[in-house]
A and B are shown apart, each in its own frame.
Chain A
Amino acid sequence: MSADVRRITAEELRATGQGGIPEDEIDLTVELAGIQLDNPIASASGCFASGAEMDRFYDVTELGAIVVKSITREPRGGLPTPRMSETPAGMLNAIGLQNPGVAYWTANDLPWLRERGASVIASIAGRTVEDYRHVARALREADPAGTIVGLEVNLSCPNVEDRGLVFACSPTDSAEVIAAVAEEAEVPVLGKLTSDVTDIVAVAGAVVDAGAQGLTLINTLLGMAIDPETGKPELYNTYGGLSGPAIRPVAVRNVHQVHRALPEVPILGCGGARSVTDVIQFLRAGASAVSVGTSTFVDPFVGQRLIAELRTWLAERGIGSVRELIGATGSWTD
């Protein structure tokens, strides 16, 4: 064991700023839809498993929240490979929600998260409204200790009861799912929306009216890549979700658009965040917290690093609380 393996510290990252305030006086706490978070950096669903894999690198409970990989009613093996294709500044994936199912998850992953004292936002997915309801109920019943502080409803799933149309593309289908989950849940419910719609504000409004306390914006963008030689799609599933820095401007736009239309609705921003300035953009656009997804694949320590860098960024500018930034955008016409 070498003595110089060490954790990243805020001191290491501290630049020589002037007019700042001490880093230990910076308040990083935020409230997201009634959930109190120590800081606004969370993992993104499907990019962090349930935390144990990442805990080999650093103490994952340092994150404001761990948003776990989507949990379904039944175990899912997922899609055949190839499941991934790299794109400029991003990647396409079609995993097919591989997960061990809610019974296995509550018996195996949840106890570990509870022992570690993590704040967990459980992502849930399904094929029918009843699937979502079942998972929400099973999670509530398995978690009397309250390790799960919120539910994130992954609405980007085909609805088998509506011709396979993705729930998130229909305001009414989305609202039905949210209403069912909200009935079962004792914790705040976040609806995770897709940008692949004509009017995301309409879907957002329907989801909030149905009982969601907040929104996660956004899921991946549907994309496709083709092997130029064989003509075959790069992904087994033909289409896949585009993620990574390539989609960040789209995500920031969606957060901004929904925040302007529905300023009271708390938002967990998600899509391509990798640097501290990306995080600041999401906060200024109106997000109360930011999920970091694909960047974890490249930088295993990105979540831990962003917390430290955010503290430094605020300290250097004399901003005492990260909450001051939420929704703080300027305008060219001011």
Chain B
Amino acid sequence: MTTLRAGTVWGRPEADTPVQATCEVLARRRNGPYWTLAFAAREIAERARPGQFVQIAVRGQSTLLRRPFSIANVSRQGPGGGTVEVVFDAHGPGTEWLAGLGAHDVIDVVGPLGTSFPLPQRKVNALLVGGGYGTAPLFYLAEELTKKGLRVDMIVGAATGERILGAIEAKRLSASVTFTTDDGSYGTQGRVTDALDEVVGSTRTGVVYACGPNPMLNALSARCVELGLPIQVAVEERMACGIGVCFTCVLPIRGRDERVRMQRSCIDGPVFNGAKIAWDVSRYDLGASPPVDQLTSERVASGSDDDVSGTP
């Protein structure tokens, strides 16, 4: 492997396209049980919107594929003219390699990729719900919503208090924050969904944004539908390419015509209307699935199902 030099960027000039860039690591720091990695990436910082992700090349033993990370923070100033932060859990050879990096190391990054959280067109109160390190992209979103003058409340959950991501940042960025843990070691004992009704009622929530494990997003979406609340979720799916060509990271999405289509979470997502994900078409339980042939992969016109956009 040759040593990378920072500062090379490949890509088109249009702001809505992703680039590939070699980026200098500015800091790698512990964030509870997680790691935060900050790197200089002006073009990615300029183009990124909340909810989007980057693909980072890793050099674990004989690993091949890049690893996807949602963008946790962006600064359009600072070293190199812009920085990007990601948060990750070191749980495999790729992320362990990343956890071993330090300042001045150089990484190869592709991004920004995927869809972003649609911001409300009207003045509504936004509730941001995060589970585990899935809370990461919500910090960037909270900043953007606050800049628009909107009230932001948060529910942040995890298995244990230790695994709550960014408790201080959550408090700083939101009007109110409710913590939940499965074991009750921090905040209220229970799931984020257990806290939902009360927070929605007390903060007069108009739109919900969420990121976390799929079962959490499923439960949350179901309850939001019952409450008549629009919900946008950023999903975490196993990916190979991250750029829309391998069809690995698909999710069943229900279209306006009620037909279910397998859509790519890397390019049609990762942000989806939570009410449109066909959670019942379980990917593990064939018995509950329609025969594969009844699913269709016909693409829907971009944005045609984007009917949430904070219009309660």
Contact = CB atoms under 8 A, between A and B. Distances in A.
B30 interface: no
Contacts of B298: 75, 100-101, 104
A48 B250 CA distance: 16
Contacts of B243: 53-54, 56-57, 297, 300
Contact of B240 (A48, A78, A84): A84
A58 B12 contact: yes
Given A96-B292, A297-B240, A80 B286 contact: yes
26 contacts: A2-B42, A2-B81, A4-B9, A5-B43, A6-B10, A49-B244, A53-B244, A54-B243, A56-B12, A76-B296, A77-B292, A77-B296, A77-B297, A81-B238, A82-B238, A84-B238, A86-B63, A86-B64, A86-B240, A90-B64, A93-B248, A98-B262, A100-B297, A101-B296, A101-B298, A296-B245
Contacts of A86: 63-65, 240
A261 interface: no
A1 B246 contact: no
Interface in B235-257: 237-250
A77 B295 contact: yes
Interface string B246-290: 111110000000001110000100000000000000011010010
A7 B10 contact: yes
A105 B20 CA distance: 29
B296 A75 contact: yes
B40 interface: no
A144 interface: no
B261 A77 contact: yes
Given A56-B18, A57-B18, A236-B283, A95 B247 contact: yes
Contacts of B14: 1
A84 B248 contact: yes
Contacts of A104: 298
A47 interface: yes
Given A54-B245, A76-B296, A86-B63, 18 more contacts: A1-B14, A5-B12, A5-B13, A6-B9, A53-B243, A57-B243, A58-B10, A69-B245, A76-B293, A81-B249, A84-B239, A84-B246, A86-B64, A87-B64, A95-B246, A96-B292, A98-B262, A294-B64
| Residues of B in contact with A, size category | 35 or more
Contacts of A298: 57, 64-66
Contacts of A2: 9, 42-43, 46, 81
Contacts of B249: 81
* Interface footprint category on A: 35 or more
A49 B57 CA distance: 22
Nearest to B298: A100
B9 A5 contact: yes
B166 to A, nearest CB: 29
B299 interface: yes
B220 interface: no
Nearest to A79: B292
A245 B19 CA distance: 24
B294 interface: yes
Contacts of A48: 245
Nearest to A82: B238
Nearest to A51: B245
B87 interface: no
Interface in B46-69: 46, 57, 61-66
B136 interface: no
Interface in A196-244: 236, 244
Interface in B197-254: 237-250
A82 B246 CA distance: 13
A130 B13 CA distance: 46
Interface string B166-202: 0000000000000000000000000000000000000
Contacts of A77: 260-262, 292-297
A83 to B, nearest CB: 5
A194 interface: no
Nearest to A87: B64
B110 interface: yes
B246 A88 contact: no
B293 A53 contact: no
A164 B267 CA distance: 33
B292 A80 contact: yes
B133 to A, nearest CB: 20
Pick the 8 closest A-B CB pairs, nearest first. Answer: A77-B295, A297-B241, A53-B244, A88-B62, A84-B248, A75-B296, A81-B283, A56-B17
A24 to B, nearest CB: 22
A91 B65 contact: yes
Contacts of A58: 10-12
Contacts of A145: none
A174 interface: no
A308 to B, nearest CB: 12
Interface in A2-17: 2, 4-8
Contacts of B17: 56-57
A105 to B, nearest CB: 10
Contacts of A99: 297
B103 interface: no
B15 interface: yes
A301 B18 CA distance: 12
A78 B297 contact: yes
A172 B14 CA distance: 51
B11 A297 contact: no
A101 B298 CA distance: 8
B203 to A, nearest CB: 35
Nearest to A47: B245
A119 to B, nearest CB: 18
B160 to A, nearest CB: 22
